[in-house]
Structure 1
Amino acid sequence: MAEVTAGYEDPISSRSRIIAAAVRLTCADGWSKVTMGRLATDAGVSRQTVYNAVGSRDDLAEAMVLTESAKFIFEIVEGFESHPDDLLPAIHAAVENTLVLAEGNELLRAVVSATHGADTELLPLLTTHSEPLLGTLLVVVQDRVDRYEIDLEPERIAAVIDLVVRSALSHVMQPTATPRETADSISWLVARVLGLADDRAASRS
């Protein structure tokens, strides 16, 4: 087996460290203060490694948001797996899990609360330019929903999934109630669309 060359930097490990450093710096000081030089120092890599691993600053911003979204995807999957035989409680759990995580997510709060200058640069990645994030979430939820028997045309199911995901994202960005109350409301809407009994969408204890 060939020996590892001295000074070799694993690109996958470096990328993870760089993205983690970017999240830390953004939460601490705001995105506008995150420079490639400062990022290299914090991550313990060379500046060239930063560019090689993540590309431009815009690429870094997108990678940061998508990497952080993996935490939310895990919670969504957990919600569905906790109710493998009943779609409505699964959706309720997935939505509530997501909103609970959002309440304590430092990066999300840093992005949403930014109100001036370049700090708002990350906000479009969660709103007007959220296609990569939205697309990933739709695929994940569609994959889980496909495991349930639903008496509805595929295009209608896709429309329901789109409604749930967009509604949940809206409440992630601007919550108007507790996670459970929001999950109750979204579950009630799904129950109405699917023709299920209203009491199945009632609040979970």
Structure 2
Amino acid sequence: METTSSYRESNRARLRQALIRAARDLTVEHGWESVRMVDVATAVGVSRQTVYNEFDGRAGLAEALAVSEVRHFAQRIRTELFAQGGDIRSAGYAAIVMTLEEASRNPLVRAVLTSTRGGADELLPYLTTRSEIVLTEAGGVLREWAAAFLPDTSPDEVALAIDAVIRLTVSHIMLPRDTPAGTATALAEVFVRLLQP
């Protein structure tokens, strides 16, 4: 019985990922405002109702797409952070520059930033007014790094530094003022000042 249940869960997870990939591809190709649930269903070869059952509508699909992309970014951030060890400046710089460079190249991020349709189910709020996904996923990776390399730093200082550097990085994705390297250098300095007495 347990094998049947895990088989079903595995199939459902594969279906969910296929639907998210299809939504991502369609968003990159046509913009989120043109993505319809029926198009996602057709791309995967399932019924439109299957997509609705999985995501509870367009807003749920938008959230799943945002979560998937943010988790991908968070894992890359983790790799950059841990590769630098406990050097706060180097770790901050590596993670921030990777994020900014990837965001500037990422076709989904570009599609999100140039989306023209209004509404609560748009993707842009996941970087702005509904950024808890970004704060949770990226923050979790940064807290893991801080626990490993800065165990004596107070949790309040870590929380403040993480929140500030994530919010500043996202603001520079939205409205860049410098090259990724220049911005990463400045924000890494902020990170250092917040984490070192």
TM over 0.5: yes
Partner of 2:73: 72
Give, in whole Å, the separation in 2 of the partners of 1:169 and 1:187.
Answer: 14
Q: Alignment identity in percent?
A: 38
- 1:49 to 2:43 alignment: no
| Cα distance, 1:144–1:175 mapped onto 2, change above 3 Å | same
- 1:33 to 2:34 alignment: yes
Post-superposition Cα deviations, 1:89-143, rounded to whole Å, max 9, x if no partner, equal 1111111111111011111101101234569822112111122232222122111
Which aligned pairs between 1:148-187 and structure 2 lie closer than 5 A? 148-149=149-150, 152-187=153-188
Higher helix share: 2
Displacement of 1:178: 1.2
Partner of 2:112: 111
Give, in whole Å, the separation in 2 of the partners of 1:23 and 1:61.
Answer: 9
1:10 is paired with a residue whose SS is helix
Which aligned pairs between 1:101-140 and structure 2 lie closer than 5 A? 101-117=102-118, 121-140=122-141
2:178 is paired with a residue whose SS is coil
Displacement of 1:175: 1.5
- The amino acid across from 1:142 in the alignment is R
Give, in whole Å, the separation in 2 of the partners of 1:147 and 1:177.
Answer: 31
Q: Which runs of 5+ in 1 are unaligned?
A: 197-205
Give, in whole Å, the separation in 1 of the partners of 2:13 and 2:126.
Answer: 23
Tell whether the 8 Å contact from 1:30 to 1:119 is kept in structure 2 after alignment: no
Q: Which runs of 5+ in 2 are unaligned?
A: none
| Cα distance, 1:34–1:119 mapped onto 2, change above 3 Å | farther
Give, in whole Å, the separation in 2 of the partners of 1:13 and 1:109.
Answer: 26
Which range moves more in the overlay, 97-106 or 78-87? 78-87
Normalised by the length of structure 1, the TM-score is 0.84
Larger Rg: 1
Give, in whole Å, the separation in 1 of the partners of 2:90 and 2:99.
Answer: 14
1:69 is paired with a residue whose SS is helix
- The amino acid across from 1:17 in the alignment is A
| Cα distance, 1:89–1:64 mapped onto 2, change above 3 Å | same
Displacement of 1:179: 1.2
- The amino acid across from 1:68 in the alignment is E
Tell whether the 8 Å contact from 1:114 to 1:120 is kept in structure 2 after alignment: no
Tell whether the 8 Å contact from 1:14 to 1:53 is kept in structure 2 after alignment: no
CA RMSD of aligned residues (A): 2.6
| Cα distance, 1:37–1:116 mapped onto 2, change above 3 Å | closer
Displacement of 1:87: 2.3
Normalised by the length of structure 2, the TM-score is 0.87
Displacement of 1:195: 4.4
